[in-house]
Structure 1
Amino acid sequence: MRKRMIMSALVVLMVLLIWGCSNRDESKQEAAEEYVIGVVAKSGTSEYWMSVRSGMEAAAKKYGARVMFFAPEAEDNLEAQEKYIDELLKRKVDVLAISPIDAFGEPTYVKLAKDKGVPIVAFDSAYADLDIPYIGIDNEQAGYEMAKYLAKKLDYSGEIGIVSGELNQMCHKERVAGARRYIDSQPDMQIAYVESGYSGAKMSGEIIAAQRQKYPGVKGLVVTSAVTALGIIESSEAGTMKIVSIDVQKDAILALKNKRISGLVAQSGYDIGYETVRYVDALRKGEAKENQVVLDADFLTPENVEGYLEEYTY
């Protein structure tokens, strides 16, 4: 009897050991088959970029991928961005998703990725001269719509200013181009200046005051980043200028509700992040037929913002 009990115990132990080894082997196989998306954004600190990351992580769960997300603190730190990309290539990621800080030329990492067989997709902001898929909104049209709405608020006359992010980033360059295209169609309107270099950065009260003194006729601004727009309206130097901007984030929405911002292009970071991972999954399966995924962007005003928030709540 005792012998049978010992034998039974040994059999159970052997089964457990075999089951445990099998599970470990399956776990190793699953880990080996995991699809890894290396993501390098322009920044990770603002609400917009955090929402991009949230969208990517939500889509990664659905499509069975893993996102490795890196970003410099500042949107103008090209050196840091390229170091993150190089590090991800060393880790043997399956694909790179990049929002390029510098859209022009061909960075060395593009050739390195090609040599390693790692596809690259761009999100939020495109590359200027490279045949790399892009996922995001139509940024030129966004600039056009901002200028169009601002013109309406100013009775289609007078001067406006443009406060832009770095113009070596395609999203800002295209938004400025779109705003110019609309204002050029208005015989009684002019662009007094384009102040660039504010990629995700606030504009100081001193610079705002200097611009108002130099261009007293400017009554409205097209601002190509919500972070910059919020910095302007927080300054007492902003006066009564009408301001239109872009990006859906809570503080910008609140400013719109309070009519401190006149209009806002609803570029959803969450949607861009989610659709980037969805596109990568299609690319992996050989089902990505288009080279661009252009997402819709509503134009929000104090009058329609509540309806937008009711429809788009994540």
Structure 2
Amino acid sequence: MSIYPLFASPFFVFQIGAQTLVLGLIGLSLSFLAGSGGMVSLSQMTIAGVAAYMVAILGSSSVDTISLGWAPWLAISVALVVSTVTAVAIGALSIRTEGIRTIMITLAIGVAFFYLTQQNYAAFNGFQGFSGIDAPMLFAIDLGEPRAFYYLCLVISALVVFGLSYLNRSTYGIGLQGVRDNARRMASLGFNVTAHRLMAHAIAGLIAGVGGVLFVYYNHRISPGSISTAALINVLVIAVLGGLRHPIGPFLGAALFVLLQNFAIDFFSRERFNLVIGAVFLIVIFSSPDGLLGLWERLRASVRPDARRHNPTGGTSSSNHPSPDSNRRHK
């Protein structure tokens, strides 16, 4: 991944690579909630949109009458705090229910925020949204340049993946998985189930907020169309398509999603993209409920029996060496 920009064109670096990492981060926030916490939320793109809108409103954009022109790093910091608080507020409402009710509550919140941004011109500039939002400078590095932006996304994604991998093995992570499997038993053992779930929403909200900041810098704009119902569903498709059991799964799902989005129009019209991604989604899920990661594990398992024929020292097979019983018979 780190040498990818060295031989790829700017289009593949930015349009494919960077977009995959950005969408993968937002999908990772849902994957963490669903995989480790057992909570499916359809509002993760909404939380990313909150962070994106905060960057546009507090920072600089082409809409000078609304944007406040704060320093980029200050706007980003406030945006991450607001997105995390928003995620906790959504979690406080959704953890009171389970199953389909949780999904419908988070979907309703996402739809409500979509119409709020579309119909409010004073704060969100209505359906036009904000444009002209450029990535800031880091020392002398222009983060808006395709390769620089890709490496920024790569470093952040790697840190988040390693952080979640460590978190899942920590005391809190194991406790959260216990809450996922049997909340009543964990409560009887003295664990605060509500606190574990709210903390999961806060962590997922922070990850989605980071993805939202990168998302607005990737597109150089944010509008209600970016957080529509289709966008909410796309995040779910990306997370499930890649696999929920490992932090790397959403990035695999995002890679397939972005590739289909950019190249499926060579064979199908753009209006039929949802039909294409839906068909691919069904094929992958019916082949492996664990998504692309599950397919990879099944492929490894099919190859592994061949490797078992070789002993650890590199020999061909234990059958090529006489056993002690056969030596006794020869004697």
Q: Decide: shared fold, TM above 0.5.
A: no
Structure-1-length-normalised TM-score: 0.24
Structure-2-length-normalised TM-score: 0.23
Higher share in helix = 2
Higher share in strand = 1
